[in-house]
């Protein structure tokens, strides 16, 4: 839905008064699912819809939870929160190679952050008010009235997000969990990269997929079902134009730009290096159970193999050390790991 234009803002990034106070926060569109399920390409496709700007990988909820999720932000907390949002924006500008990068220079982001600090200093805003202002300004800068973002793990916060942004809508990405694991296992670690292969583990990834699937079914059976549209990875891969048309109707708009990605889409490309072991697949299918077939995916006929044990032990050790190191060195990551762990176990 297009927000009525009540003011003319030529340079929204430099405004020192709240634009949302004049225009309203709108009804954001939030892409959820799982990492390595094609959500980045989905965010790219959504930005082809007329009058919509969808940011890839915002993680505002996670940053808020590490700072102050329930109360007004102090000026120090405001600066920290805005610094995190600015960091994500700079990362997209500097490292995005597969999809549309924000049309901003690093200097413009610096001015943008400073203007936001000036706008909210001494006012004690809530995290979601600051996020809505940030995204509204980014959308206007890109010639759009409406905004959205992609954060896969926000499927855990659907009710909360609908309470702070009434009318928020969700695009739920689904993909075969074994293909998600295969993609994650074959990632290359590089600066600014999307994901890390050290996060791969057949138990954790499978339980994460199950949690997302369970939450989707729960939401579909609730009053929020009309606020959710489901996209299948294979449908998106084979016919992104049709997916874009369907999603444009979901947000009462039309497709205005091409959906094809300009660069190599790593979620679509088949990894060359490693395949899942039979034991990886067997463990996943045992943990997921009927959720796999209920989601429309066939079970593979595999059995655990003794020869796969060394690889499983190696994956377990790498995963455990990686998560332990992140939890010790980064307070934000530590809270996120604890939150996800509670959800899964």
DSSP, residue by residue, 92-155: HHHH--SSPPPS--HHHHHHHHHHHHHHHTTS---HHHHHHHHHHHHHHHTT-SEEEEE-GGGG
Domain count, the chain: 1
What are the beta bridge partners of residue 13?
none
- Nearest Cα neighbor of 201 from 277, 280, 275, 309 is 280
pLDDT tens digits for 232-290? 999 999 999 999 999 999 999 999 877 765 445 554 454 456 889 999 999 999 999 89
Token output for 246: 């369907």
Question: Is residue 92 predicted with pLDDT exceeding 80?
Answer: yes
51/146 Cα distance (integer angstroms) = 6
Contact 116, 73 (CB under 8 A): no
Phi and psi at 303, nearest 5°, equal -130, 155
| Within-domain flag for 5 | no
Contact 139, 32 (CB under 8 A): no
Task: Tell me the residue range of the domain where 158 lies.
Answer: 12-344
For the segment 144-173, the average pLDDT, to the nearest whole number, is 95
- What's the chain's average pLDDT? 88
For the segment 164-168, the average pLDDT, to the nearest whole number, is 94
Contact 38, 267 (CB under 8 A): yes
With cut-offs at 50, 70 and 90, classify the pLDDT of residue 180.
very high
Which residue intervals of 121-252 are DSSP H helices?
A: 127-141, 158-164, 177-185, 202-220, 233-238, 240-250
With cut-offs at 50, 70 and 90, classify the pLDDT of residue 47.
confident
3-state secondary structure of 49: strand
Range with the poorest average pLDDT among 54-58, 160-164, 259-263, 326-330: 259-263
| % of the chain surpassing 70 pLDDT | 90
Token output for 322: 């990686």
pLDDT at 344: 72
Contact 227, 162 (CB under 8 A): yes
| Within-domain flag for 3 | no
Question: Is residue 97 predicted with pLDDT exceeding 80?
Answer: no
45: burial class by Cβ within 10 Å (0-12, 13-18, 19+)? buried
33/43 Cα distance (integer angstroms) = 12
| Within-domain flag for 7 | no
User: CB atoms < 10 A from the CB of 38, how many?
Assistant: 29
CATH of the domain at 127: 3.40.50
Range with the poorest average pLDDT among 56-60, 219-223, 261-265, 335-339: 261-265
pLDDT at 9: 63
With cut-offs at 50, 70 and 90, classify the pLDDT of residue 23.
confident
Range with the poorest average pLDDT among 20-34, 183-197, 242-256: 183-197
| Within-domain flag for 2 | no
| % of the chain surpassing 90 pLDDT | 69
| Within-domain flag for 1 | no
Report CA-CA distances (Å) from 145 to 49, 100, 137. Answer: 12, 18, 9
| Within-domain flag for 56 | yes
pLDDT at 7: 41
pLDDT tens digits for 50-76? 999 999 889 999 999 989 889 999 999
| Within-domain flag for 238 | yes
Range with the poorest average pLDDT among 72-76, 105-109, 181-185, 303-307: 181-185
| Within-domain flag for 65 | yes
pLDDT at 223: 92
Question: Is residue 345 predicted with pLDDT exceeding 80?
Answer: no
């Amino acid at each position: 839905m297009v927000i009525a234009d009540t003011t003319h803002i030529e340079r929204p990034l430099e405004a020192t008064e709240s634009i949302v106070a004049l225009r309203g926060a709108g009804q954001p569109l939030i892409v959820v699912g799982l990492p390595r399920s094609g959500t980045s390409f989905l965010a790219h496709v959504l930005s082809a819809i007329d009058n919509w700007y969808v940011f890839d990988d915002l993680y505002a909820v996670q940053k808020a939870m590490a700072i102050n999720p329930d109360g007004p932000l102090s000026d120090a907390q405001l600066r920290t929160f805005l610094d995190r949002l600015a960091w994500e924006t700079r990362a997209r500008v500097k490292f995005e190679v597969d999809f549309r990068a924000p049309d901003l220079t690093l200097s413009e982001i610096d001015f943008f952050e400073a203007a936001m600090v000036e706008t909210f200093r001494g006012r004690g805003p809530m995290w979601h008010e600051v996020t809505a202002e940030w995204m509204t300004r980014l959308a206007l800068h890109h010639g759009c009235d409406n905004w959205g973002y992609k954060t896969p793990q926000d499927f855990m916060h659907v009710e909360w997000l609908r309470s702070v942004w009434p009318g928020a809508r969700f695009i739920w990405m689904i993909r075969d969990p074994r293909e998600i694991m295969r993609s994650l296992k074959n990632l290359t670690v590089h600066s600014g990269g999307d994901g890390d292969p050290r996060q791969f583990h057949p138990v954790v990834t499978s339980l994460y997929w199950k949690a997302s699937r369970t939450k989707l079914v729960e939401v579909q059976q609730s009053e929020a079902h009309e606020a959710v549209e489901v996209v299948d990875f294979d449908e998106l891969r084979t016919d992104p134009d049709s997916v874009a048309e369907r999603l444009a109707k979901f947000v009462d708009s039309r497709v205005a730009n091409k959906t094809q990605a300009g660069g190599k889409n790593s979620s679509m490309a088949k990894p060359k290096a490693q395949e899942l072991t039979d034991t990886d697949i067997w463990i996943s299918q045992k943990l997921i159970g009927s959720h796999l077939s209920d989601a429309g995916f066939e079970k593979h006929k595999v059995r655990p193999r003794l020869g796969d044990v060394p690889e499983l032990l190696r994956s377990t050790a790498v995963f455990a050390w990686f998560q332990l190191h992140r939890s010790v060195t980064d307070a934000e990551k530590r809270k996120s790991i604890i939150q996800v762990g509670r959800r899964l176990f």
